[in-house]
Each structure stands twice: as C-alpha cells, then as structure tokens.
Amino acid sequence: MAFSIFGFSKKAEPAKNQVVEIPLDQIEPNRYQPRQVFDKQGIQELAQTIQEHGLLQPIILREYEPAKYEIIAGERRFRAMKLLNWEKAPAIVEKMNDHETASLALIENLQRAELSSVEEAQAYRRLMDLNHMTQANLAKGMGISQSAVANKLRLLKLIKPVQNAILDGLISERHGRALLPLDADGQRKMLMRVVNEKWTVRQTEDEVARYLGKPVPAEVEAKKETARLASQAANTPQSPAPQPKEQPVHHKSANHKKTTIKKTAHSTNQAHEVINVSDPRIAINTLKDSVKMINEGGLDADMTETTLKNSYKITIKIAKAPAKNKRKHK
C-alpha cells in the first residue's frame, strides 16, 4: 500500500526493543476505530489463545497526553487482555499526531478485511475527509479499484436503521443495495418487511420494483426464459417418427396350415427433452400457457395463484366434458 499518499510514510517500523509495559487503565480506544461491532465470542476465543500462548504481537499506542495512551492498532487484543484481567499490556509507543493516528488506525483495520460493508464504507469516507482525497486517490492508496470504493460509499446513502441492520447482521449488504432506490420512508417500510418476513435478496429486489411501479426483475427474467425456450423449441429440427415394428401373428387356417399376419406395434418409450427450470415464475407461466391452450381447445379451465411465505400455491379447475360428447362403452 502506498502509505505516503495519506501524508505520511511507513519508514518508522518499530523495533522489538521498543516494547514497553503500559497499564491498561491508561489506554483508551482510538476515536477513529472503524469497527463498531465486536464479536464477544471472538474476543473470548482470542483471550483463551493469549492465555495459552501469550501475546504474540504487542499493541501499538501513541501518547496523546502525559500517561494517557490511544490505541493505533490492536483493540481486539486490548479487549482480550482486559477480559483476562491483565494489569499491563505489552505495547509499542509511537510518536504520531492526530492526523497520522486516525489514518493509520483506519488503514490497519481495513487491511484485516474483518469489517462489515458499512464499517468499511465509513472508514473510506473518514480517510477521504482526513486527507482531503478523491475516490480515485483513495483507491490508489488502498490498492483497489475506484468502482469498489464508489460501491461501498453508496451504502452511506442508506438511512441509519438500514445501516444498523447491516452492522447487526439482520440483513446483508446486497439487501441494503436493493433498498438504495427508495426514499427514507420507503427504506424504513421495506426494511421492516425484509427483516420480519425474512426475504431473500431476490424477493427484496422484486418488492422494491413493485413499490416503485417498475418491471419486476423475476417476472422479466421469467418472460425472457419462456421466450428463449419457445424459440429453442421452434428452431429444433423434428426427428422423424419411428417406424412401427412388425410382429408376426400366427393363425391356423381351415387346413391347419399356419398363416402369418404382420401386425404393427408402436414403442411406448418415446424420448423426451428435459428442461431445467431455474425460476418458479417460469413454471407458473408454463402452467398459464397450458390453461390457455385448454380453453382454446374447447374446455373451460381456470387457474388461481396464491403467494405464500416460502412458496406459490397454484389451483387449476377444468370443467367436465358435456355428457353428449362422451362415448358409451359397451
């Protein structure tokens, strides 16, 4: 990473002999710590590892006031040591100003790739504000694409309840992106339904489209898939019908000589094409087409569709044929 692009260099690599013991009650978390949610179980597991193997890497601090230290890197280790009731923490004390401290704290956490998407977006925004950077400069400094930075920053357009839902793991980043086209009121209403009804990302995208009066993605894809299958069927050359097999049937004539009559038999094992259906709307549209064909053929058919929580309920009613059209069996 090009650290110099943030206004400082990575020239001061701390040496091992700089490790000192700092009382835990003199250490404060970093004000620019991007991580807002700490996994309690993860901290307990880290504490157990430290208890068994010791602290393999000291935390990094800076002294912002006499006998007052701020964490630059290692807040999870700091929390684990507090959980173990340690009195002092092995630490490396660096001389840094507020600007350098904030930038390094943000970069150190971003490098660990353990932040949520919202925390990552907030860290990008803070780095840009602290260093007066454009998205392009930030992307260059972080070693990522500008589009990746832009996509993360878009999450900050979500209202706070949606951002908090992502932070708490109630919804995914993709759920949040699906809500971006909505205004604040729409996001709030849709968030409640996403969480309460446990919608998938696809269901969320479909409901947002319906809310905005736009084409529903699932239905659009289903129509395209139906058209593709119809086009494929129309362009597939029809194979010639199998020739009937001749089977000899023997009868005895009046003079007891065998007379052979050739009888045809058609094979019932006709080959058929299997079509994979990836979307339930395709199956529903296929049923609708079938009902339409039945009606055009002269029978009265009706289909009703009900959307349940995790499935679709389809009911098809076909009227019985008139009695006069039925054949009498002797």
Is residue 204 a contact partner of residue 196, using CB atoms and an 8 Å limit? Answer: no
Nearest CA among 210, 230, 211, 235 for reference residue 220: 210
Sheet strands (E) in the chain: 19-23, 27-28, 59-65, 68-73, 88-94, 245-252, 258-265, 301-307, 312-318
120 is catalytic: no
Is residue 316 a contact partner of residue 301, using CB atoms and an 8 Å limit? Answer: yes
| Catalytic-role residue among 75, 108, 205, 225 | 75
Phi-psi region of 17 (alpha: psi -120 to 50; beta: other; left: phi over 0): alpha
C-alpha dist (Å) from residue 311 to 256, 285, 315: 68, 15, 13
* Mean pLDDT (10-residue bins), the chain, 330 residues: 49 58 91 72 87 87 89 88 93 84 76 78 89 89 88 95 92 96 96 95 95 90 83 71 56 47 44 56 80 78 78 82 48
Is residue 208 a contact partner of residue 190, using CB atoms and an 8 Å limit? Answer: yes
* pLDDT given at position 313: 81
* pLDDT given at position 87: 93
* pLDDT given at position 305: 79
| SS3 assignment, position 312 | strand
pTM over 0.75: no
* pLDDT given at position 236: 72
* pLDDT given at position 64: 86
Show the tokens assigned to 85.
């009731």
Is residue 23 a contact partner of residue 88, using CB atoms and an 8 Å limit? Answer: yes
